Chain A
Amino acid sequence: AQKVTQAQTEISVVEKEDVTLDCVYETRDTTYYLFWYKQPPSGELVFLIRRNSFDEQNEISGRYSWNFQKSTSSFNFTITASQVVDSAVYFCALSEEFSGGYNKLIFGAGTRLAVHP
């Protein structure tokens, strides 16, 4: 069965520290997609990144970077020089394709990040 594990329940850092959020997944599919979403206190879910299983290149977007390693089934997310506005719950998700052609997202439990001034 498909599964996403985010072992870190809560992380607390001081502003400007770097922080890495871990994500480990399980799947028997050879083709799959991984996602990261951010949920600030307001509650909406904000899409951050999608990575397909054939692309193991690391990606950087400003202060955000993602490390995808198929060998360890991990898709970790690093925030460099964290800011108070980064405080949120971050969800890692794995897609599972249904016969209808759409994907069902399997979410991890989420990691609550608190960045203090």
Chain B
Amino acid sequence: SAVISQKPSRDICQRGTSLTIQCQVDSQVTMMFWYRQQPGQSLTLIATANQGSEATYESGFVIDKFPISRPNLTFSTLTVSNMSPEDSSIYLCSVEDLRTRDPQETQYFGPGTRLLVL
């Protein structure tokens, strides 16, 4: 399976500021996903990022708040903009490699970024 790293691993930010989270994969992958996990909650998909096209956002998430970049097949960033305490969560990226031609390929997750907004 792919090895996934995220930066930063954790951060404490002031409200009104923005934070960009990086996700790096050690192999080329087609699809990358960004999830949010609020304290004590399950995972919720924010958006799906396919290289070369705009990200697809889930209901309740908008590009102005969570802009995503996918410049190549091994890297993606998620920005949390104009943060408020409600944005305090773990943000996780995951990958799925469609090149195996198995559309139900397993998603593997990065270690997550713990964000606290004061």
Chain A positions near chain B (C-beta within 8 angstroms): 33, 35, 37, 42-47, 50, 52, 91, 95, 97, 100-105, 107-110
Interface residues of B in 7-58 (CB under 8 A from A): 30-31, 41-45, 48, 50, 56
- Determine the main DSSP class of A at the interface with B: strand
Q: Which residues of B have CB within 8 Å of A45?
A: 43, 92, 94, 109, 112
Q: Which of B61-69, B70-78, B79-87, B96-104 contacts A (4 or more CB under 8 A)?
A: B96-104
Asked if A52 meets B104 with Cβ closer than 8 Å, knowing A44-B112, A104-B45, the reply is yes
Q: Give Cα distance in the complex from A40 to B94, angstroms.
A: 17
Chain B positions near chain A (C-beta within 8 angstroms): 1, 30-31, 41-45, 48, 50, 56, 90, 92, 94, 96, 98, 103-112, 114
Known pairs A44-B109, A95-B104, A97-B103. 18 more at Cβ < 8 A?
Answer: A33-B104, A42-B111, A43-B112, A43-B114, A44-B110, A44-B111, A45-B92, A45-B94, A100-B48, A100-B50, A100-B56, A102-B30, A103-B105, A103-B107, A105-B43, A105-B45, A107-B44, A109-B41
Q: Select which of A35, A52, A102, A104 is within 8 A of B98 by beta carbon.
A: A102
